[in-house]
Amino acid sequence: MSKILVTGANGFVGKFLCKALKQLNHDVIELTSSSGDIIDAKTWGNIPATEIVIHLAAKTFVPDSWKTPELFLQTNTLGTVLALEYCRKHGARMIFISSYLYGNPASLPINELARISIPNPYALSKKAAEDYCRFYADSYKVNMVIIRPFNLYGFGQSENFLIPEIILQVLKGGAIHVKDLEPKRDYIFITDFIEAIIKCMDSHRFEIFNIGSGTSYSVKEIIQMIQDICGTNLPVISSAEKRPAEIMDTIADISKARELLQWIPSTTMNEGLSRIVKQYK
Rounded Cα distance, 129 and 62, in Å:
16
Q: Answer yes or no: is 130 within a domain.
A: yes
29 beta partners: 5
Contact 94, 141 (CB under 8 A): no
> Looking at residue 61, what is its pLDDT?
87
Are 204 and 141 spatial neighbours (Cβ–Cβ below 8 Å)?
no
In the predicted model, what is the mean pLDDT of residues 195-217?
A: 97
Q: Is residue 72 part of a domain?
A: yes
Domain with residue 79: its CATH number is 3.40.50.720
pLDDT on residue 246: 83
- Per-residue model confidence as pLDDT tens digits over 126-155: 999 999 999 999 999 999 999 999 999 999
Range of the domain at 42: 3-154+188-213+253-266
Would you say residue 20 lies in a domain? yes
User: Which of 57-61, 82-86, 187-191, 230-234 is predicted with the least confidence, judged by mean pLDDT?
Assistant: 57-61
Cα–Cα distance list, 202 to 25, 81, 95, 101, 164 (Å) = 16, 23, 11, 25, 33
Phi, psi of 211 (to 5 degrees): -125, 110
Query: Rounded mean pLDDT of 163-180?
Result: 97
111 belongs to a structural domain: yes
Q: Is residue 101 a part of any domain in this protein?
A: yes
Q: For residue 241, is it within any domain?
A: no
The predicted-structure confidence for 224-280, as pLDDT tens digits, reads as follows 999 999 999 999 999 988 877 789 999 999 999 999 999 999 999 999 999 999 999
Q: Which amino acid is at 60?
A: T
Between CA 17 and CA 213 the distance in angstroms is: 19
In a domain, 55, yes or no: yes
Query: How many helical (H) and strand (E) elements, i.e. helices and strands, does the chain have?
Result: 11, 12
- What is residue 63's predicted lDDT score, i.e. its pLDDT? 87
Query: How far apart (Å, rounded) are the C-alpha atoms in residues 158 and 176?
Result: 18
Residue 7 resides in a domain: yes
pLDDT of residue 217 exceeding 90, the answer is yes
∠ CA 265-267-273, nearest 5°, is 140
- Angular region, 214: left φ>0, alpha ψ -120 to 50, beta rest: left
Hey, which bits of the chain come out as E strands? Answer: 3-7, 27-31, 52-55, 93-97, 144-149, 151-153, 176-178, 184-185, 187-189, 207-211, 217-218, 236-238
Q: Residues for the chain: how many in total?
A: 281
Number of compact structural domains in the chain: 1
**Confidence at residue 189, expressed as pLDDT on a 0 to 100 scale:** 98
| Arithmetic mean of pLDDT, 45-50 | 97
Q: With b meaning 16 or more CB within 10 Å and e meaning fewer, what string describes 27-60?
A: ebbbbbeebeebbeeebbeebeebbbbbbbbbbb
Average pLDDT over residues 7-20: 98
